[in-house]
Structure 1
Amino acid sequence: MLDGVQASSISPVFVGRGAELSQLADALARASAGEPQVVVVGGEAGVGKTRLLEEFLGAARHMDVVTSVGGCIEIGADGLPFAPVSTVLRSLYRQLEGEMSAAVAGQEGELARLLPELGEPTQQFDDEVGRARLFELTARLLESLSQERTLVLAVEDLHWADRSTRELLAYLIRSLHHARVVLMASYRSDDIHRRHPLRPFLAELDRLRTVQRVELPRLGRVEVRDQIAGIQGVREPARALVDEVFERSEGNPFFVEELTTHCATCDLSDSLRDVLLVRVEALPDAAQRVVQIAAGGGTTVEFGLLAAVVGGPQDELLAALRAAVGAHVLAPTEDGDGYRFRHALVREAVSDDLLPGERTALSRRYAEAVEADPSLVRAEHHAARLASYWYRAHDVAKALPAVLDAAVQARRRYAYSEQLRLLDRALELWESASVETRRRLRPFDHADAYPACGCDDDAVRYLDLLAETVSTALLAGERKRALTAIKKALRLLEDGEGEHTGDPLRAAWFWTQKSKLRGLNRQGDGWDELAKAQELVRGLPPSPVHAEALANVAAYGALHPHDPDILTTAQRAVDLAGVVGAEAIELHARTTLGYLLVESGDADAGVAEMRAAARRSGEHGMVAIVGRAYTNLGDVLHGLGRFAEALEVLDEGLALLKRFGQPGRKGWLYGNRAESLFALGRWDEAERSLEDARQNADTPWSLITSSLVTGQLAVLRGRSGQAAEALAEARRLCGTHDPQPQHMIPLITLELDIEASRGRLAEARQVLMKAVEVGFPMGTERYAWPLLLSAAIAESESRGLPSADAGRAEVLAAVRRTARRLPRLYPAPTVYGLLADAELLRAEGRSDPVRWEEAIAGLDALDMPYLLAFARYRLAESLLEARPGPASRVEAERLLRPAHAVAQQLDAVPLRDGVQLLCARARIALHAEAAAEPARRAEPTPPGESFGLTPRERDVLALVAAGHSNRQIADELYISPKTASVHVSNILAKLDVGNRGQAAALAHRLGLVPALPVTAG
């Protein structure tokens, strides 16, 4: 449009930023080596952020680096959703069209929401997970493009960024781990007031190790002198000029340029705003008017739109633009399609200089031009620009529908925060809108179960606007805003004002949303609200609201104590959703139905139902349901003891989420995956999966299972401190608002195990008795049986300790009483029940090898290496105790060797130590080579050898020191009481002491005996 006119800087010399350029060059070098970098440049307006970026990007391009820049756009109070990211991607598309097309193959419809050049955005969009999917696909695209080259992507004026842009940038910063990418952003630090939305974003970045902050200071006097010299093209500028410019500009490079240019020709006032306007006021009248009109259009104005608003011959417009560009007031945009102010400060000064009526009139002219010819602006900007112009034109009749159209477009781009702000503006305009204006409004195309508008002329009612606000606020994470809208809607419905009377479906929908909020805000379990919704839809014809209410009631029942008729509720929800064609609700309900069928005893039907729901959700690309369906199916299979199958299902779910570009719900899947790996004895893999769960957690609740598995692993590896930390984390994540048995019972089990491992039996008993008093509702046996087994182990391990004998009978009776009530429907609960039965007998001193053999037979049908090793260890102990003799010793050796090998492999320290101690007492060699070669290698002299104690006497002395009687020593070492008495007499003689107490004291004082390890199952 203006051939030969360049948007060059006034100052040809770039001064005072050597250190900052070096920092950026270092970041580029690291990124080129495969380590993504993030640099955030801050500084006051005019300090030179853009110039620094230009210099750096120019140098990068000379190194064959692909660069792309996008600027955040200020349109009144409304930023355009994802505008700078779209600009960055558009620039990349121009430079790398072929490679970019290949990289987005199959996902063009989703990424077209950011880059329309890829084609038409897909019409199907998923409110719950679409946003996260879009973010993940963007990250993958950048990783793909950076495989063969380094990318430098810059976003300017981050202080104007919409929230969606900030959230996408935050996601990219956290997600780009293996990409040759430098992400850069600049912001105006003097605009970041205490409540500015960018402040928490910057605070979050400061916590990330990968983010570098560059703060640009003002220039010093010497640097100001060098800048003036460059502007004037002289070696040494006049000292008086340098002094005056330095004093007036205070080292701000932009003001240095303005003052240097005008100091010699103008008598300037003290106002810097006037300094900014001097360059504009020096333009011809026609050019000044064009600049004023451009200021009313925003930071950037397309040429066609500017021409439509200015009117008149195009030659005159071009002449005016040539003057404005030549005077460095305006500059062509990078794509050559429009004009921007050389500096935002100039635009702000020009806009502030307009009279209020002028600004309103200009906004109307812009709105009329865009409305008359939508092609004047980019299609993705059209709705937002029109809404902003009409709003600033104070035309309610035009602004309200335009704002609602913009809100719809924002939702389709997953820009929920921007949509919510537009809806708030619509609620503001509603009060001033005429009835006729309201009736002309198009109804919302609700993606959830909210009932379609049924009022006259399909107008958007106020309730519908509130419903859209609730739905959007929940998606945007603005829960307080959602609750405010819900309360307002329910107040209108309950008060029965005018058109809001007699609407039970809408009331039920709002109560359902309030139930969700109760859980999200940790203010209760939401049952009261669900019950209200269920009552409101009772007897009404089938509808999505009815189906969703029943589906939520059934889902609540699956996680909480419930009546047997909850299965019927789940089936009704499935049937209703099928009748009204609400497939998403139907698949959610089918997943719940399958879970409840398994709980009721029909595992085959339940698993089949859940598999079908998971398969359908994947085939139809219903990503939100994929996560829940596969998480729950894997959990059910785990509970049935089908651990390998559960692992396959969870891996399939993770693969689907990856294919769909959906990171959400991965935390749940990885946590459940770790649980199955833990059961399968693949503990190191389980730890890696736990780390993946933490990296992919989308809510605190998704980490509860991970924390519990971490604690269980720590207990069985003898790390009680780590286990206690995991317990504290799990308790914090569970909270107190919604104590679900699936979390609370394993949490109690972990607490009991920790107390027992620390020898705090009284505390462990207290934990158990509290749980027994509360009871275990139907469907919780898979969690209750491990708790009862842990309690029995704690009691049996403390057998023989005088301080622990009191109260044991009461605890064992409580465990037996509870066990009788718990069903053993499936293999895993059955095996836990058999183990608990055998352990209870051991705690009573009546260990029965037959019971342990039954438990091992049950374990042979499952793949649970740790529990099998534990049961073998217990069986060996029971055989040695019940049937002393060579045959039992041989059988015990056969059992203990594989048990010890598993304990060693898993690093299960308490089990390993228990096996080793039993072998030592029974004189069993753990390794075949040790049995074949009696002569031992030279070892350090054992404690007590100087007293002439034999190995067996040292074993006896250890038990004497522990306070055991001769009978107890005989039981422990599988010898007769008479033989034990002889050993004790010999020990007293060799130690030259008079009684057992003196022998114990001497043994401890001289370190003749080690501390006896506590063996935890």
Structure 2
Amino acid sequence: MLCSVESRSISPVFVGRAEESSTLLAALARAATGEPQVLVVGGEAGVGKTRLLEEFLAAACEQDATVAVGGCLELGAEGLPFAPFATALRTLHRKLGDEMTAAAAGREAELARLLPELGSAGRDVHDQEGRARLFELTVRLLERLAGERTIVLALEDLHWADRSTRELLGYLVRSVQSARLVVLATYRSDDVHRRHPLRPFLAELDRLRSVQRIELPRLVEDEVRAQLAGIRGVPEPDHGLVQEIFERSEGNPFFVEELALSGGDGRLSESLRDLLLVRIEELPETAQRVVRVAARTTTVEHTLLAAVSGLGEDELIEGLRAAVGANVLVPAAPDEDGDGYRFRHALLREAVIDDLLPGERTRLSRRYAEALEADPGLVRPEERVTRLASYWYYARDAAKALPAVVQAIEETRERHAYAEELKLLERAMELWDEVDEATRLALPHMGSLESYPPCGCGPEKSHPEFLDLLAEAAAAARVDGMREQGLSFVKKALKLIDPAKDPKRAAWFWMERSRLTAGSGRGNGWAELAEALKLVEDQPPSPVQADVLSNAANWLVLHGWDDRTVEMTERAVEVAREVGALEVELNARVTLATMRAERNEEDGWLAELFETREQAGRIGAPRLLMRIHASVTDQLEKYGRSAEAVEAGREGIDELRRRGLYDAAAFLAGNVAESLITLGQWPQADEVIQEWSRYAGGSRARAAMVKNAATLALLRGQHEESRRLLTTARAHMGKNDGEPQYELPLIFSEIACAAAHGETAEAAAMLRRGFEMLPLPGQAPYVAQFLLAGAEFLADAAGLPGVAAQEHAALLDRLAKEADRLTQKQVRRPAMVLHIQAELARARGADDPALWARTAAGLEPYAFAYQRARVRHRWAAALLAAGGDGARDQAAELLTAAHSAAEDLTAEPLRAEIERLAGRARIALGGDGGETPADAVESLGLTAREQDVLRLVAAGRSNRQIAEELFISPKTASVHVSNMMAKLGVAGRGEAAAVAHKLRLFERAEPV
């Protein structure tokens, strides 16, 4: 039920809770692995506990979690026992039905004490054993239900909880074991006084390591500004209003909402309203009349005020002079044309409006509408349509309001004001049934498939239908980032359409559903596109047919394509040209250009993209503009032209931001951050990630941004942070896990992260998961990056515990087979294929300096600082292992350059590996000026006994086995293991083994 219910909060944006949301999402991700999570969220009344809970539960629903919510009742100490658990279990029973009945089988009589729907409760036994049995059965029931799915159990208002509820919750927290369960409880901290019964319970929970406490602070001023921006539907609210509301609310989100409503569309509190009305009531009667008329609009033109008020010129001037003198009204500023008046403060205006009788408001709105309709020149042309629509709407004249609203929709769409368009569309749908057929037939045409969004999907007509309103609303919601709302519009439309009678219209809505499904992370969108394709495949050429073909081809390009995809795209271009659907044609041409780029057809593809971008800008196609900008940056990055990708990406961000497309700009910012990482400009990448993460609305944009942050953390050696971020990125992906450009980079980052933690078995499992996606025709760049990460892991993992020799060989053979499919032309990134071959040789124990030399030569013309340093390090290692004349001097030169680059980048893992290799080879790195250690073991400060222990840990021995082999006690062996790990700076035995392996500490070969 929760998954289909919208938030009760008036704020359409969720602000100021990024850290808390990340904590909750990370807990959800951990729970999905079978690790139960318990979180307790506290905060004062109105600070946003419920909103945080609603946002988290919505995210959990998107990830297919089963959500059950129970609230404690404000009934005091004698309240209904177990009320929140009973409510939550009832929800689970309703959702899971027979599955819950089966899980409770044989224990129905006991569990019926909590959930009567399960049967008749047993006899009333008042003993501790019976209570403990009830608690235990409840925990086991939840564990069984959460064995195959993630369950989120939310208990609200714990400050009202009865004792039995607290005790059952405490038992659940202490007892639940392996289960995909999240328990989330909220309480109001300002109600928990010193003697409140919840206080000792919270103290008890604090002693449990499994419980996470979250205290919600008040919002800071910037967060209040963002909240107000969302409430008012503007990019940047008035600075003075932000400061005032911040000071009065003290950062409490509920108070911000109340004050925002007081200064917006809601009602003022009685005390505040009365206070503001005192100033109005002291004015002369004529001035009060003028003020009441002026309150209908934010700034009223003098001529419009005269027409509506009905006063003579002298009376009007007299009333205005009094109102201005009392600081109620002020003349409009010169930049507002200087020919009008506005209220001194918005709160004054809202107080006046709130004091009007309902009939007065309606009559006043009608008078404004009639005056403006009679003389459109009373207001500026760009405001006339929108204001007229508003006046007629509040005049409650549907026959007049609907045509005006439809016309206003067209104007707001043309101005790319999608949030405002969506509000108008909802208003039009509200008015639809209030007008007769003749009024609908007389409505102006709203648009066509040649414009955005494609409406008029059915037979040719000169007026909109209700389904056109739904089509407009779905598309506007998607572009504005309101994807769940968009899906609700689409689902409603599909229930109204008969696909046999109107296949084109049905196909359009299935296509839109595909976009919204993918954008919200509910799936990859192909099933919906397939439905659309079936509906149009035998139809005559139409804009919808061209659009469906174009979108299906683009989907295939992103997931794996072949020559048939090219034919489909060319067909889309042909149909679009035939029916005059320019935007669809441009979209298909972008797909063709992308495939030309994938085939490495020189720069013709780039010229094509630039041409389509220019045309898209001329026709005002924001969705297409976003795609073209993203394609340009993506393809430039794949070609190794990262600096050009950054430049093009920043230009695109500026353009999209100017058009108000912040979500689209955030998506593009993810591409820019990726290229900055490639270039070694990591601080700049940090800035882009920090600036644009908050605007990333779609699941793909959020996942890509977090994945970039995880990459930086991994390269810097912040392994725990990298793991946390990768978990978050995976959570953002939701069901949208089939697209190679997102899935493969996430997998190879997870491989590197697991390997960095010494978790070779886990890394090998991730490598196998990536192999399951192959082959992927047309996705060579992503495949190559994945294979490179896999080859590097296998080279490092050879001989380590966690990957048996036979499994290692099998993985190596599979990787080599996949690498043989690749060509440099397909991969495009310079030296990528050579790099993979060099790592494969290293993994086979036949490190080849010549391969590394060729790889380094291929990278030399490019400013890929980290990649060049990494290759130089590997090249030096291969030279030192091979020996020969001049090998040592050449290796020293390579290591010095690589070390300098690693230090500049703050690439700590790479820097440490270089220093260890230099230490083994007794090479002084340029600039360190000190004596090099005799060998790596000595440099780490390990005693002889600790060296023995490390050797055995690297061989996979347990503490007991180490003790037996070294003739010491297990306790002493444990002490030596702990000391050795501390000196190595590692957190686990796997990491210690990895360090020993990388340093080749125990090889029997002659020292270099």
TM range (shorter): 0.5 to 0.7
Tell me if structure 1 keeps the 8 A contact 2:606–2:632: yes
Pairing 1:175-186 to 2, within 5 Å after superposition: none
What is the alpha-carbon distance in structure 1 between the residues aligned to residue 797 and residue 675 of structure 2?
30
Could you say which residue in structure 1 is the equivalent of 2:560?
561
Q: 1:668 offset after TM fit, Å?
A: 3.9
Q: 1:752 offset after TM fit, Å?
A: 1.0
What's the CA shift string for 1:566-607, capped at 9, x where partnerless? 122222223333444443333332222121223345454434
The aligned amino acid for 1:375 is G
The aligned amino acid for 1:374 is P
**Other structure's SS at 1:370 match:** helix
What is the alpha-carbon distance in structure 2 between the residues aligned to residue 433 and residue 929 of structure 1?
84
Tell me if structure 1 keeps the 8 A contact 2:590–2:609: yes
Aligned length, in residue pairs: 738
Tell me if structure 1 keeps the 8 A contact 2:457–2:544: no
The aligned amino acid for 2:437 is V
The structure that has the greater radius of gyration is 1
**Other structure's SS at 2:522 match:** coil
Change (3 A) 1:483 1:964: closer
Change (3 A) 1:296 1:768: closer
What is the alpha-carbon distance in structure 2 between the residues aligned to residue 611 and residue 943 of structure 1?
54
Bigger shift: 845-854 or 447-456? 447-456
Change (3 A) 1:319 1:573: closer
Could you say which residue in structure 1 is the equivalent of 2:356?
351
Change (3 A) 1:925 1:375: closer
What is the alpha-carbon distance in structure 2 between the residues aligned to residue 252 and residue 781 of structure 1?
70
Tell me if structure 2 keeps the 8 A contact 1:300–1:341: no
Tell me if structure 2 keeps the 8 A contact 1:400–1:426: yes
Change (3 A) 1:465 1:449: closer
The aligned amino acid for 1:567 is V
What is the alpha-carbon distance in structure 1 between the residues aligned to residue 789 and residue 424 of structure 2?
56
Say what the alpha-carbon RMSD is for the aligned residues: 5.3
Bigger shift: 743-752 or 840-849? 840-849
Q: 1:435 offset after TM fit, Å?
A: 2.7
What's the CA shift string for 1:167-195, capped at 9, x where partnerless? 2334x76xxxxxxx9965669999x9999
Could you say which residue in structure 1 is the equivalent of 2:436?
434
What's the CA shift string for 1:966-999, capped at 9, x where partnerless? x9xxxxxxxxxxxxxxxxxxxxxxxxxxx9889x
What's the CA shift string for 1:421-445, capped at 9, x where partnerless? 4433433433242332222222113
What is the alpha-carbon distance in structure 2 between the residues aligned to residue 940 and residue 891 of structure 1?
20
Pairing 1:93-242 to 2, within 5 Å after superposition: 165-170=232-237, 198=257
Could you say which residue in structure 2 is the equivalent of 1:458?
462
What is the alpha-carbon distance in structure 2 between the residues aligned to residue 609 and residue 322 of structure 1?
60
Tell me if structure 2 keeps the 8 A contact 1:329–1:346: no
What is the alpha-carbon distance in structure 2 between the residues aligned to residue 817 and residue 943 of structure 1?
36
What is the alpha-carbon distance in structure 1 between the residues aligned to residue 483 and residue 940 of structure 2?
70
Could you say which residue in structure 2 is the equivalent of 1:729?
728
- Which structure 1 residue ranges, 5 or more long, are not aligned? 1-157, 174-180, 206-215, 219-248, 259-275, 497-501, 931-935, 945-949, 968-994
Change (3 A) 1:637 1:996: same
What is the alpha-carbon distance in structure 1 between the residues aligned to residue 624 and residue 900 of structure 2?
42
What is the alpha-carbon distance in structure 1 between the residues aligned to residue 940 and residue 244 of structure 2?
75
Tell me if structure 2 keeps the 8 A contact 1:638–1:676: yes
Tell me if structure 2 keeps the 8 A contact 1:164–1:416: no
Could you say which residue in structure 2 is the equivalent of 1:910?
909
The answer as to 2:401 corresponding to 1:399 is yes
Q: 1:517 offset after TM fit, Å?
A: 1.9
Change (3 A) 1:898 1:541: same
What is the alpha-carbon distance in structure 2 between the residues aligned to residue 391 and residue 941 of structure 1?
86
Could you say which residue in structure 2 is the equivalent of 1:507?
506
**Other structure's SS at 2:560 match:** coil
Tell me if structure 2 keeps the 8 A contact 1:670–1:692: no
Could you say which residue in structure 1 is the equivalent of 2:496?
492
What is the alpha-carbon distance in structure 2 between the residues aligned to residue 347 and residue 952 of structure 1?
77
The aligned amino acid for 2:867 is L
What's the CA shift string for 1:235-282, capped at 9, x where partnerless? xxxxxxxxxxxxxx9997557779xxxxxxxxxxxxxxxxx6xx79x9
Tell me if structure 1 keeps the 8 A contact 2:228–2:242: no
Could you say which residue in structure 1 is the equivalent of 2:786?
787
Could you say which residue in structure 2 is the equivalent of 1:45?
none
1:467 counterpart (465, 468, 471): 471
Q: 1:829 offset after TM fit, Å?
A: 5.8
Tell me if structure 1 keeps the 8 A contact 2:946–2:980: no
Tell me if structure 2 keeps the 8 A contact 1:303–1:339: no
Tell me if structure 1 keeps the 8 A contact 2:306–2:316: no
Q: 1:516 offset after TM fit, Å?
A: 1.9
Change (3 A) 1:200 1:455: farther
Could you say which residue in structure 2 is the equivalent of 1:77?
none
The aligned amino acid for 2:445 is P
Change (3 A) 1:199 1:765: farther
What is the alpha-carbon distance in structure 1 between the residues aligned to residue 388 and residue 905 of structure 2?
65
Tell me if structure 2 keeps the 8 A contact 1:921–1:955: no
Change (3 A) 1:816 1:952: same
Pairing 1:705-716 to 2, within 5 Å after superposition: 705-716=704-715
Tell me if structure 2 keeps the 8 A contact 1:704–1:734: yes
What's the CA shift string for 1:498-556, capped at 9, x where partnerless? xxxx4333333222222222223322222222223233333544443233222211221
Change (3 A) 1:292 1:648: closer
What is the alpha-carbon distance in structure 2 between the residues aligned to residue 614 and residue 522 of structure 1?
27
The answer as to 2:762 corresponding to 1:757 is no
What is the alpha-carbon distance in structure 1 between the residues aligned to residue 273 and residue 461 of structure 2?
63
What is the alpha-carbon distance in structure 2 between the residues aligned to residue 217 and residue 424 of structure 1?
28
Tell me if structure 1 keeps the 8 A contact 2:559–2:779: no
The aligned amino acid for 2:794 is E
What's the CA shift string for 1:870-912, capped at 9, x where partnerless? 33433333343344x5654344334433333333333333333
Could you say which residue in structure 2 is the equivalent of 1:42?
none
**Other structure's SS at 2:568 match:** helix
**Other structure's SS at 1:924 match:** coil
- Which structure 2 residue ranges, 5 or more long, are not aligned? 1-224, 333-337, 956-964, 985-991, 1000-1008
**Other structure's SS at 1:565 match:** helix
Could you say which residue in structure 2 is the equivalent of 1:814?
814
Tell me if structure 2 keeps the 8 A contact 1:785–1:829: no
Could you say which residue in structure 2 is the equivalent of 1:899?
898
What is the alpha-carbon distance in structure 2 between the residues aligned to residue 468 and residue 828 of structure 1?
41
Tell me if structure 2 keeps the 8 A contact 1:591–1:610: yes
Q: 1:405 offset after TM fit, Å?
A: 3.3
Could you say which residue in structure 1 is the equivalent of 2:533?
534
The aligned amino acid for 1:468 is E
Could you say which residue in structure 2 is the equivalent of 1:371?
373
Could you say which residue in structure 2 is the equivalent of 1:840?
840
Change (3 A) 1:329 1:899: closer
Change (3 A) 1:538 1:196: farther
Bigger shift: 863-872 or 749-758? 863-872
Could you say which residue in structure 2 is the equivalent of 1:443?
445
What is the alpha-carbon distance in structure 1 between the residues aligned to residue 900 and residue 253 of structure 2?
61
Question: Identity over the aligned pairs, expressed in percent?
Answer: 33
**Other structure's SS at 1:445 match:** coil
The aligned amino acid for 2:817 is R
Tell me if structure 2 keeps the 8 A contact 1:911–1:1016: no
Change (3 A) 1:437 1:837: closer
Change (3 A) 1:474 1:819: closer
TM-score, normalised with respect to structure 1 = 0.61
Q: 1:745 offset after TM fit, Å?
A: 0.9
Could you say which residue in structure 2 is the equivalent of 1:637?
636
**Other structure's SS at 2:951 match:** coil
The aligned amino acid for 2:740 is P
Pairing 1:830-869 to 2, within 5 Å after superposition: 831-860=831-860, 862-869=862-869
Tell me if structure 1 keeps the 8 A contact 2:533–2:549: yes
What is the alpha-carbon distance in structure 2 between the residues aligned to residue 570 and residue 700 of structure 1?
27
Tell me if structure 2 keeps the 8 A contact 1:441–1:460: yes
Change (3 A) 1:182 1:834: same
Pairing 1:228-627 to 2, within 5 Å after superposition: 253=275, 294=293, 304-305=303-304, 308=307, 321=319, 334=332, 337=340, 344=349, 347=352, 351-352=356-357, 356=359, 364-391=366-393, 393-446=395-448, 447-448=451-452, 450=454, 452=456, 458-494=462-498, 502-614=501-613, 616-617=615-616, 625-627=624-626
